[in-house]
Structure 1
Amino acid sequence: MTTRTPRPKPALDGVAAAGRALAILSAFRKGDRHLSLAVLSDRTGLVKSTIMRLAISLEAQGFLARTPEGAYRLDAELLRLGSIYRDAFGLEAHVLPVLEALVARTGETAGFYVRHGERRLCLFRVDSPHLLRMHVRPGETLPMDDSATAQVLRAFGRRPLPAKARAMALPAWTSGATDPDTASLAMPVFGPGPDLAGALMLSGPISRMDARRAEAAKPLLREAAAGLTRALGGEAPAALSDAAA
């Protein structure tokens, strides 16, 4: 009979340090771009010297980054883990069929974007069969400019919803905001629960997606976003129905 060697228990100091490091990450709330050392200390109850010591390890692992002013912001390793979580949750399995259906029905490019700091990140994309289209690959980022997609991410990513979001006509449509020859439509998608999951968008050259054709595509995008929200267990704000009507 083989005698098992008992696994050594982790040192209490190590457990405590891990708990404090997680407390620092958990101190960030929706809408926080960066936090000062003083705010982190206030939210975690940790002394500043402890936060600074743990932040060195968190920075080395890509969880935190320092701003030029000396504040802290969340870094890319959390995005990587978030992407793994999304895959585990089955986001891709829900989103890609919706994008494929939109492309089949409209002939234009469909994509799904999330906000990444001061940029918007293309998570999923299905290209138009037309050769003339804007070329963006999943994983690429674009600025949070005045495009329909950026407007939706900016407006609906906050709680409570700002007045601008409640008054926004949906789907949002812009022409020439990111690229002078490209127009786009965008709708918010929610889930799980009331949180913004991302922005569902259609884009095409202005020569094909003018105001008349964009108007014809709006009901399709609205229907697709509502179906995706339901599939993700989401709950669109009541104000959204009024704004979209």
Structure 2
Amino acid sequence: MTTLTRPKASLEGVASAGRALTLLSAFRKGDDAVSLAELTARTGLVKTTIMRLAISMEEHGYLIRLPDGSYRLGAELFRLGSVYQQSFRVEAHVMPALEKLVAATGESASFYVRSGQQRLCLYRVDSPHPLRLHVRQGDMRPMDDSAIAQVLRFFETIPLSAAAAATQLPLYTGGASDPHIAGMATPVFGPGESFAGALCLTGPVTRFDRKAAQDAADILLRVAADLTRSLGGRPQGPR
């Protein structure tokens, strides 16, 4: 009896899908419509390839082609962004935590997750002070040497037990990403010791100096522990 065997599925990515994602990633903050020539320069793809990809992406709502031949992102991406936020299932827990931090410290509070080689501000509550770092929900920031990026980088790549034992929390940096901005961050966990993201406070270095950060450290750790519990995780003791 002859047995038919299926060929093993390739683990390699699909080139056309990769090019389509490259095209979407070429759009930047502040873009309204982007010309075909500019998309070619940003992606390295030839114009005919972009035009073929764009036809399929238009059909599925990811791109809109304007009469002058330029392109704009489509509404399907907004829908997926909303789905992502809902599926993350933390907004109802994170926003009250951020509001509590702002009320207690007077500084801006944010919750960041990593997105490739950048960090994404998923949720934020601004400081009541007019002098503050102007970051909005959905903004991407670099994975630099700031306390936020360090927490994201460290706790995503190292087992929780080893990371918690090796790290003095919360982390504080001043002037790491901007000479005028200081930040302090600590990790938040979900079920099974999964890393959920970085809870942080930011403010101008003239106000949020090391002394002010030290005064705010306990409240940041307590709120992070409470948030971890509400997400189904097990808080790590202050270190």
Q: What range describes the TM-score normalised by the shorter chain of this pair?
A: 0.5 to 0.7
Q: Give the structure 1 partner of residue 9 of structure 2.
A: 46
Distance 1:59 1:204, change over 3 A: same
Contact conserved, 2:112 with 2:123, CA < 8 A, in 1? yes
Q: Give the structure 2 partner of residue 221 of structure 1.
A: 220
Q: Give the structure 2 partner of residue 27 of structure 1.
A: none
CA RMSD of aligned residues (A): 3.2
Deviations 1:56-92 (A, max 9, x none): 3575478x99x99xxxxxxxx9998586254245311
> Separation in 2 of the partners of 1:89 and 1:149?
19
Distance 1:85 1:192, change over 3 A: farther
**What residue identity is the alignment partner of 1:170?**
L
Q: Give the structure 2 partner of residue 20 of structure 1.
A: none
> Separation in 2 of the partners of 1:145 and 1:162?
24
Q: Give the structure 2 partner of residue 118 of structure 1.
A: 117
> Separation in 1 of the partners of 2:88 and 2:111?
16
Mapping 1:130-141, distance limit 5 Å: 130-141=129-140
- Where does the alignment leave 5 or more consecutive residues of structure 1 unmatched? 1-43, 69-76
Q: Give the structure 2 partner of residue 128 of structure 1.
A: 127
Distance 1:94 1:161, change over 3 A: closer
Mapping 1:149-188, distance limit 5 Å: 149-161=148-160, 166-188=165-187
Deviation at 1:45, TM superposition (A): 3.5
**What residue identity is the alignment partner of 2:193?**
P
> Separation in 2 of the partners of 1:83 and 1:191?
21
Q: Give the structure 2 partner of residue 232 of structure 1.
A: 231
> Separation in 1 of the partners of 2:10 and 2:209?
57
**Pick aligned residue for 2:16 from 56, 72, 76:** 56
> Separation in 2 of the partners of 1:46 and 1:79?
32
Contact conserved, 2:155 with 2:163, CA < 8 A, in 1? no
Deviations 1:187-223 (A, max 9, x none): 1001132111100000001111111111000000000
Distance 1:194 1:46, change over 3 A: same
Distance 1:80 1:193, change over 3 A: farther
- Where does the alignment leave 5 or more consecutive residues of structure 2 unmatched? 1-6, 26-42, 45-75
Q: Give the structure 1 partner of residue 211 of structure 2.
A: 212
> Separation in 1 of the partners of 2:225 and 2:218?
11
Contact conserved, 1:155 with 1:161, CA < 8 A, in 2? no
Deviation at 1:55, TM superposition (A): 4.9
Contact conserved, 2:109 with 2:199, CA < 8 A, in 1? yes
Contact conserved, 2:189 with 2:197, CA < 8 A, in 1? yes
Distance 1:178 1:165, change over 3 A: farther
178-187 or 80-89, which moves further after superposition? 80-89
**What residue identity is the alignment partner of 1:111?**
S
Deviation at 1:235, TM superposition (A): 2.8
Contact conserved, 1:155 with 1:165, CA < 8 A, in 2? no
Distance 1:194 1:148, change over 3 A: same
> Separation in 2 of the partners of 1:155 and 1:165?
10
Contact conserved, 1:189 with 1:226, CA < 8 A, in 2? yes
* Partner SS state of residue 197, structure 2: strand
